[in-house]
Structure 1
Amino acid sequence: MPALIPEALRAAVERLTPSRMPTFVRDLVEATTSAQQEQSLAPLRTFVHMWGVFVAIQRYPSRGAHLRHLEEIVSAGVEDPTDAIAEIRKIHADAAVEAGV
């Protein structure tokens, strides 16, 4: 797991999911701007938490693919999403622990 700093997370996102780099950069700019405007580190902490969990999930391609599958089940609205939602929450919780956030 990379360090929970923007530079390390940027490198991990670029390596694991290059297509997500525009979103990463946009979120970083928004967090930095908000932190300056609010004179608070909270937006940067939120950014690091969100992207740390994302990287922890994407580090394992099968886990990322399984999460996308579960999200598709929920989005489709065809079957009861209760089990899929519970599993999504577990994946995110496990990734947060792994990331140390």
Structure 2
Amino acid sequence: MSEAAADGHRPLIPQPKTTAEDLRAALVQIAPNQVAAFDAERTTAVEAARSQVDAAPMRRFLRRWALAVAIERVPARAARLSELEARAGQVEDLAEGRAIAAEVAAIHAQAAAEAGVDGRTAE
């Protein structure tokens, strides 16, 4: 790992192309605990695309995982998102809930821009 990436605020790897093979290879490097979920979702997306004769399930799958990789490749960002998601389940104050939602949206928007996707997980 480079010294620049060691602080957790810089990407561990470049953003891969939005192909199943490249995204999976990136996950193996930066988030190996997510590879099984990736493989299972890929199988489901391929089956849905074939049965529906529609590429939309694969597009959703690739978009979702491109966003996940974009988040995970910056450890500090991934950690902050996890903290926010955990806190969101406990918050009772509306203003705090809105602040959490805004920060989560900003993280997703930045990651989506880096991944070259629109950030949505469904069409």
Q: TM-score, normalised by structure 2?
A: 0.78
Task: Specify the structure having the higher radius of gyration (Cα).
Answer: 2
Letter in 1 for 2:99: D
How far did residue 77 of structure 1 move? Answer: 3.1
| CA deviations over 1:15-38 (Å, ceiling 9, x no partner) | 111111111111101110000011
Are residues 1:93 and 2:114 paired? no
Higher fraction of helix: 1
| Structure 1 gaps, min length 5 | none
Task: Name the % identity.
Answer: 36
How far did residue 47 of structure 1 move? Answer: 0.5
Are residues 1:5 and 2:19 paired? yes
| CA deviations over 1:35-84 (Å, ceiling 9, x no partner) | 00110110000011000000001111000001001101101235431111
Are residues 1:81 and 2:97 paired? yes
Q: TM-score, normalised by structure 1?
A: 0.95
The number of aligned residues is 101
- CA distance in 1 between partners of 2:77 and 2:30 (Å): 13
RMSD of aligned Cα (Å): 1.0
